[in-house]
Amino acid sequence: MYKIKPIKMAINNNSPWQMPFIGSLVPAGFPSPAQDYIEAVLDLNELLIQHPAATYFVRVEGYSMVDSGINPNDILIVDRSLEASDGKVIIAVLDGEFTVKRLHIDKNGNYFLVPENADYKPIKVTDEMGFSIWGVVTNVIHKL
């Protein structure tokens, strides 16, 4: 005989995404040896967010990064505390607007914002562009 124990969402906790770690079937009559561990939960924040104070979410518009798995309407997890280096996907400010691109720094120290879609061309950063690096993208949340 098995009794279904309802899944308790830990919504009282500050973290909004918590799921119980141990399964929900408990044999009636015998205490489950796993019961003592039921409090342990997997926290998506722990997996995806290293620096909570520096982490922001940004929504994607447009197709310039589709080949790297960044699609329109996806949510990017952006960590401002990380150093943007060559090869990192970044949120940059260009002429007062946010854009997501891969950063390429060449041997001469020139910056390029590289799209990952053959239909788009890389942008060479010049002094007049009002360019700055806003944060480094660490993860993409994509709904299937």
Partner 1 sequence: MIEFPIPEKNKRPLFALVDCNQFYVSCERVFQPYLEGKAVGVLSNNDGCLVALSPELKKLGVTRGMPAFKIKPLLKQHEIYLFSSNYTLYGDMSSRVMRVLSSFTSDIEIYSIDEAFLSFRGMENIDLIEYAQTIRQTVLKWTGIPVSIGIAPSKTLAKIANRVAKTYKGYNGVFNITDHPKTEKILSSIALEDVWGIGRKYSKKMKKIGLANAADLLYLENEWVKKNFTVVGLRTVLELKGYPCIELEQVTNNKKQIVSSRSFGKLCSNYEDIEQAMSYFCTTATERLRSQKSVARQLLVYVCTNPFRNDPQYANFMSGVLSDYSAYTPDFISLGKSMLKRIFKPNYLYKKCGIMISDIILEKNIQPNLFTLPYNEQSKSSIMQCIDTINTKYGTNKVFFASNGTKNNWSMKRDILSPQFTTCWAELPIAKD
Residues in contact with partner 1 by the rule CB under 8 A: 11-12, 16, 51-54, 56-64, 75-76, 80-81, 91, 93, 95-100, 115, 120, 130, 132, 134
Least spacing, CB of residue 126 vs partner 1, in Å: 17
Candidates 81, 101, 132, 143; catalytic one:
101
Which three-class secondary structure state does DSSP give residue 85?
coil
Strands 123-124 and 111-114, by their bridges, are: antiparallel
Instruction: Return the number of the residue (26 or 75) whose C-beta is nearest partner 1.
Output: 75
3-state secondary structure (DSSP) of residue 100: strand
Q: Contact 66/120 with Cβ under 8 angstroms?
A: no
CB-wise, 3 or 51, nearer to partner 1? 51
Smallest gap, in angstroms, from Cβ of residue 52 to partner 1?
Answer: 7
Phi then psi dihedrals of residue 128, to 5 deg: -80, -5
Residue 69 tokens, joined: 């798995």
Q: Which lies closer to partner 1 via its Cβ, residue 16 or residue 87?
A: 16
Nearer of residues 35 and 81 to partner 1, judged by Cβ: 81
**Beta strands 75-79 and 132-141, pairing class:** antiparallel
- Rounded to whole angstroms, the Cα distance separating 18 from 136 reads 25
Positive or negative: CA dihedral 21, 43, 50, 111: positive
Least distance CB 66 / partner 1 (angstroms): 11
Is position 64 annotated as part of the catalytic site?
Answer: yes
Q: Which of 8, 24, 64, 143 is catalytic?
A: 64
Positions marked active-site: 64, 101
